[in-house]
Amino acid sequence: MAACRGVVIRLSPRAFGDAGVEGDVVSAGAAALDKRVAETAAAANISGLEFFFGIPGTIGGALRMNAGANGAETKDVLIESHGNRPATARSTNSPMPI
């Protein structure tokens, strides 16, 4: 078995895999599957997240790499993200204007 230098972090889908809707905003944990986020939005009649349906992986990964398909990207639909940074407090980030 090959060794991995460093730390591997796995976010539990049970704790970080939920996706929900409040008003016209979809919120999702970093371990929520992209497809699940697209389905959650569609079930609430929220458009603009359909491109996530065909992207394998999680929203956390999509956010990290700005995943996109069919002419849309994560940065186009992101309102804000919350996370933790090493040795600092919790942070809230909004996408940078282009």
- For 35-86, write each residue's pLDDT tens digit: 999 999 999 999 999 999 999 999 999 999 999 999 999 999 999 998 876 6
Nearest to 16 by CA among 33, 38, 41, 35: 33
CA–CA dist 43, 48 (Å, integer) = 13
Q: What are phi and psi of 63, to 5 degrees?
A: -65, -45
pLDDT of residue 90 exceeding 80? no
Give the pLDDT confidence score for residue 28 in this predicted structure. 96
pLDDT band, residue 24 (cuts 50/70/90) = very high
Residue that the structure tokens 């919350």 belong to: 82
